[in-house]
A and B are shown apart, each in its own frame.
Chain A
Amino acid sequence: MNHDPYHWGRPSNETYGQYNYKISNASNINKQFNNASSCDFPTMLTQQPMITGTSVIAIKYNDGLIIAADNMGSYGSLMKIDDLERLIQVGDKTIVGISGDISDLQQIERMLDDVELEESYDMESSNLNAEHIHEYLSNVLYNRRSKMNPLWNACIVGGFDSNDEIFLKYVDMLGVSYSSPSMATGFGAHLAIPLLREKVDKESDVVKLNKQDAIQLVKDCMKILFYRDARSLDKYSLCIINKTSKEIEFLKNLKCEDMNWEVGKNIRGYGIPQL
């Protein structure tokens, strides 16, 4: 046995001769010592997200549903994009809010575009509603994860179902999906959900929340997220899906309001001169 720490446990060269790395088509030896190029490692599929979008939050109210997401795309700790739209409208009955990898978000955006286009070949108006878009998205995400080549996203699909009732359901990169009257992806699941559930914890609470209060609640959540989620922005989009009017209001470039950063001056350490 070879007792060199790097080769520990392998057959010793004295006994068996030099190991031929071509056998396994891989090598741990520094590149300069072998000429192998691309076949050093197996093909690597997506292992981590690159540019990412943070939380999407959504809540039902007595006459519809509100969904919001900020406009930032971050590259690690860098704010790479500050005018990113993460709420995607599909047809006139669906909004999809997407967090996670932005290139995958754009891929999903194109796929949803294709679905809409294909639908228009046969029919004058699109019959695809939020329920259908969610099912489609779930299948895409689940099939990609099953190929071990995931689309690195968590999505919230909101809109109208086949009976023109309000539809709200989550699906993520693994294909896991669930519905709930209030929900959030990413950091929002920890920071916004407690606030949202304070108002709407179960389906029967939905009737108790009016539109105005719901909007205020979502705005407050976006503010809390901007306070505490380092990869978030104070600029965001917000969609209001109205049940009775069957309309979707799309509000862009909203800013977090009435923020209080007084706490900042009391922070010590992190490079701020000590008193």
Chain B
Amino acid sequence: MSTLASEYSNEVTHDVIEHRFNPYSDNGGTILGIAGEDFAVLAGDTRHTTGYSINSRYEPKVFNIGDDLLLTANGFQADGTALIKNFKNQLIQYHFNNDNKKMSIESSARLIQHLLYGKRFFPYYVHTILAGLDSEGKGSIYSFDPVGSYEREQCRAGGAAASLIMPFLDNQVNFKNQLDPETGNKKQLKYLKLEEVVELVRDAFSSATERHIHVGDGLEILIVTKEGVRTEYYPLKRD
């Protein structure tokens, strides 16, 4: 070999190419929460993916975590389950220490913030949504970023198809860019009925399924009212 033994050739031949282990993956799926006057819904599709593979067509990710609260953490599934598991444990501890008092949604939201921020420098790679009724019995949605920043909202979409669903929600729930045909003024905000909300959710998901490969297979909607929590399931396209 006539190659000069330079540090350039050394680097190429001797140094190991470092293959860094990636501790995260994206398991697709999308989630959506809408608050009504006296109810809240939290919905998620049931498809579970890695890359282009569909791992499962039915892997629920929205959970009734007790105390009439619904929680979902969409993104990297292992982190999502770890977060929810941690929350459930904290909740048991809370019950022991507070004479079985129900945890309010406000307290739950703050607790979730601490759980998320606690891993600020190795974050849970998830978009988290919490749904329930507030102290006045009004529907309530809290949404969180991966490191715990949160706010209460009327509605929020998260996960793979969030960017497809959120503008639709802005228009249909918060009447953004809608004018009253008679007066020409901005359309007045009003609470939607549960039936209307469920229809909105179903439309949002069937549309997202059409346009996004990581969304589909099934839609699970959890509804919390003062009567408690109930679950509805609707099939989505499986292609």
**Whole-angstrom CA separation of A30 from B58 in the bound complex:** 54
Instruction: Please determine whether B24 and A174 come into contact, CB atoms closer than 8 angstroms.
Output: yes
Closest chain-B Cβ to A193's Cβ sits at a distance in Å of 8
Instruction: Please determine whether A180 and B50 come into contact, CB atoms closer than 8 angstroms.
Output: no
Q: Does any Cβ of B come within 8 Å of A48's Cβ?
A: yes
Instruction: Please determine whether B11 and A28 come into contact, CB atoms closer than 8 angstroms.
Output: yes
Given A47-B20, A142-B82, A148-B21, verify A178-B59 contact (CB < 8 Å).
Answer: yes
For A126-165 the 0/1 string (1 means CB < 8 A from B) is: 0000000000001000100110101000000000000000
Given A175-B82, A178-B77, verify A203-B55 contact (CB < 8 Å).
Answer: no
Q: A178 touches which one: B15, B56, B122, B238 (CB < 8 A)?
A: B56
Q: Does any Cβ of B come within 8 Å of A275's Cβ?
A: no
The interface residues of chain A lying within 8 Å CB-to-CB of B7 are: 6, 29-30
Instruction: Please determine whether A177 and B81 come into contact, CB atoms closer than 8 angstroms.
Output: yes
The interface residues of chain A lying within 8 Å CB-to-CB of B53 are: 189-190, 193
Q: Does any Cβ of B come within 8 Å of A46's Cβ?
A: yes
What residue in chain A is nearest B119 (Cβ atoms)? A146
Given A45-B21, A150-B21, verify A180-B56 contact (CB < 8 Å).
Answer: yes
Give the number of chain A interface residues (Cβ < 8 Å): 31
Chain A binding surface, main DSSP class: loop
What residue in chain B is nearest A175 (Cβ atoms)? B78
**Residues in chain A within 8 A of chain B (CB atoms):** 5-6, 28-30, 44-48, 138, 142, 145-146, 148, 150, 170, 174-180, 183, 189-190, 193, 201-203
For B192-217 the 0/1 string (1 means CB < 8 A from A) is: 00000000000000000000000000
**Whole-angstrom CA separation of A146 from B83 in the bound complex:** 13
Chain B residues 2-37 with CB under 8 Å of chain A are 7-8, 10-11, 14-15, 18-21, 23-25, 27
Closest chain-A Cβ to B176's Cβ sits at a distance in Å of 36
Q: B78 touches which one: A46, A174, A183 (CB < 8 A)?
A: A174
Given A170-B55, A176-B77, A201-B57, verify A47-B23 contact (CB < 8 Å).
Answer: no
**Residues in chain B within 8 A of chain A (CB atoms):** 7-8, 10-11, 14-15, 18-21, 23-25, 27, 48, 50, 53, 55-59, 76-78, 81-82, 122, 238
Closest chain-A Cβ to B136's Cβ sits at a distance in Å of 38
Which among B14, B76, B78 has the greatest number of chain A C-beta atoms within 10 A? B78
Instruction: Please determine whether B8 and A5 come into contact, CB atoms closer than 8 angstroms.
Output: yes
**Whole-angstrom CA separation of A180 from B46 in the bound complex:** 11
**Whole-angstrom CA separation of A5 from B238 in the bound complex:** 53
What residue in chain A is nearest B7 (Cβ atoms)? A6
Instruction: Please determine whether A174 and B56 come into contact, CB atoms closer than 8 angstroms.
Output: no
Instruction: Please determine whether A47 and B21 come into contact, CB atoms closer than 8 angstroms.
Output: yes
Closest chain-B Cβ to A172's Cβ sits at a distance in Å of 9
Q: B19 touches which one: A48, A138, A174 (CB < 8 A)?
A: A48
